[in-house]
Amino acid sequence: MKRGYALLVTLFLIFSISLILLKSLTLSNLSIKESGNFQRIVQLNLATKDTLNILKNSPELKDLNDTVEYDNFLAEYENIPFSIDKEDAILLSLEPSNTKININDIKSWDSSQKRDFINYLRAYGVSSAEYFWDILQDALDQESRATALKEDMPLLANQKISNKRVFDRLISYYIQNSSDLGILNVPWDKLIDFKGNGLDVNHMSCEVWRVIFGDRADEIGGEICHSKKVVKELNSTSFSKDDIKRLKRYKVSTNIRVVSVTIRLSKKNKNDIISTFDYDIDRKKALNVAMDF
């Protein structure tokens, strides 16, 4: 794909220049504890800024109007490594966003969606699925700030499950109070996220299909979630009206052009530090910027 190749060249050249600038940083005169790690954080921030500027100023992205071209673009830039020196490397990854359920959205789910979710958990052997549902609802409850769960977990004070660490605490709370280890069978990493608004039918995971359609998931969405079929419009498919209604209940649509970007700075004998953000192609806007180190 010529446009994709042009973008790759652009990324490589500008990112290479960026790395030269990063290597020229000298922080040795800064009297900061752990200055080596501080330098890496500065480097990662600069790399994040450069990557965002590349995406904003790339004319190639404007032409990715077709769903197939967009998929090709994502496949082409799934992982782009850059070596800085013998010890340092940066890995740039671009993936589709809106592939998993934002766990925070369940606070507004109706009784039908609750039933779908509980049936999904039971299929994986969760014996007290309704109790876990209650824990999630309690965690996201906007009214109560003094429940037993929130007393045990002050991090839930903002009524939001903000990241995997908080969610893992909820899992531990459930196991502690139910003695049910079946909850660990659920492939949470393929099912939930902590950001995003809506789901892209062409990129949502097979586990999401299983929540929505249960035993009919493979029949309805098997080819799509395994990337063997591309849906351009929900109404132009073989989906029944009831199936489309069910998909829309979960805010499923087509061609959500938001890319999830991960920049990983690796250093020999040290843990990676990671910068992430979502990039809205149409609005040229970065969303959900975060750093983990």
Q: Spell out the per-residue pLDDT of the chain, length 293, in tens.
A: 445 555 555 565 556 555 555 554 443 334 334 445 667 777 778 778 888 887 887 776 766 766 777 777 777 666 777 766 677 777 888 888 999 999 999 999 999 999 999 999 999 999 999 999 999 998 887 665 546 676 666 656 567 888 898 899 999 999 999 999 999 999 999 999 998 889 999 999 999 999 999 999 999 999 999 888 888 888 867 889 999 999 999 999 987 888 898 888 877 767 677 888 999 988 889 988 888 76
Helices 206-213 and 111-123 cross at an angle (nearest 10°) of 120
pLDDT digits (tens, 9 = 90+) for 101-131: 999 999 999 999 999 999 999 999 999 999 9
Contacts of 75 (CB under 8 A, 6+ apart): none
Closest to 122 (Cα-Cα) out of 113, 132, 108? 132
Contacts of 165 (CB under 8 A, 6+ apart): none
Q: What CA–CA distance (Å, rounded) separates 159 from 142?
A: 6
DSSP-derived 3-state class of residue 140: coil
The DSSP secondary-structure symbol of 203 reads T
Q: What is the pLDDT of residue 154?
A: 61
* Model-wide pTM > 0.95: no
Q: What is the pLDDT of residue 65?
A: 67
The three-point CA angle 55-59-62 to 5° equals 85
DSSP-derived 3-state class of residue 171: helix
State whether the Cα torsion 17-18-21-22 is positive or negative. Answer: negative
Domain locations in the chain? 2-96+257-292
Q: What is the pLDDT of residue 220?
A: 93
Do 44 and 273 contact (CB within 8 A), yes or no? yes
Do 152 and 164 contact (CB within 8 A), yes or no? no
Q: What CA–CA distance (Å, rounded) separates 290 from 293?
A: 10
Q: What is the pLDDT of residue 9?
A: 53
Q: What CA–CA distance (Å, rounded) separates 162 from 77?
A: 27
Q: What CA–CA distance (Å, rounded) separates 91 from 83?
A: 9
Q: What is the pLDDT of residue 269?
A: 67
Q: What is the pLDDT of residue 26?
A: 41
Which residues of the chain form beta strands (DSSP E)? 80-83, 88-96, 101-102, 192-193, 199-200, 252-253, 258-267, 270-280, 285-292
Contacts of 201 (CB under 8 A, 6+ apart): 221, 224, 231, 234, 247, 252, 253, 254
